[in-house]
A = this chain, B = another copy of it.
Amino acid sequence: MFRIFSIFGNEFNFEAMARTKEFNEDQALDKAIEIFWHKGYNGTSAQDLVTHLGLSRSSLYDTFGDKQKLFSKSLQRYQQQAQDTVKELLEKSDNVKETLHEIFKQAVIESLEDRITKGCFMVNSSVELAMHDEEIAKIVKSNSQTMEEVFTNAVKKGQEAGHISKTLDAKVLARFIFNNYSGIRVLARAGERNKQVYDDIVKAVFSVL
């Protein structure tokens, strides 16, 4: 911070630095994602955050403002990470159908492995908050749009390469894929542990492509 004193026409510039942060902000955000993802917004208390992030109440509030702002930042960070992963996989791929299949298989594996069943942070937040919090609604909407674009471009590529049926429009298929992805995440959050259920759904989904 800078303070400039102007006395009798002369300017004195005092700069004084203070203590450095003892934690990494992004690492703290990742911890916040973990606990919000697991317990939801209303289910996570300020004390939960203090305990889980390992920093004091004052540092938490000094750094992130309040609970709502911290949640919002966490969800945005999660969105960025998740989107980047899928986007890169599909853009690099030269067999989009196969890559999409891998993405779904991965979602199934995560759903079964997940000892503390978390589902998808975006889906969870959407269900819990989208209708009560405009900022969260915006993030959810932005995520849906981006994912729709990513899937649409991928399907188009697959259709041009002859890997995916042209019977249905790319956008139709993109929305269909996204819908089943959401459904699977809800299933996981509900605690479904039967692999056959997931496999059946994936089988039916890919019978369309």
Contacts and interface: CB of A to CB of B under 8 A. Distances in A.
What's the dominant secondary structure at chain A's contact region?
helix
Number of this chain's copies in the complex: 2
Contact of A186 (B43, B182, B203): B182
B117 A189 contact: no
A187 B147 CA distance: 13
A148 to B, nearest CB: 8
A101 to B, nearest CB: 16
Interface in A154-198: 167-169, 171-173, 175-176, 178-184, 186-187, 189-192, 197
A39 B117 CA distance: 23
Given A144-B192, A182-B186, A182-B187, A128 B40 contact: yes
Interface residues of A, number: 48
24 contacts: A39-B132, A42-B42, A42-B43, A43-B128, A43-B132, A117-B131, A119-B127, A127-B127, A127-B128, A127-B186, A128-B128, A130-B189, A130-B190, A137-B190, A168-B204, A171-B200, A172-B203, A173-B204, A176-B200, A176-B205, A180-B183, A182-B186, A207-B208, A208-B208
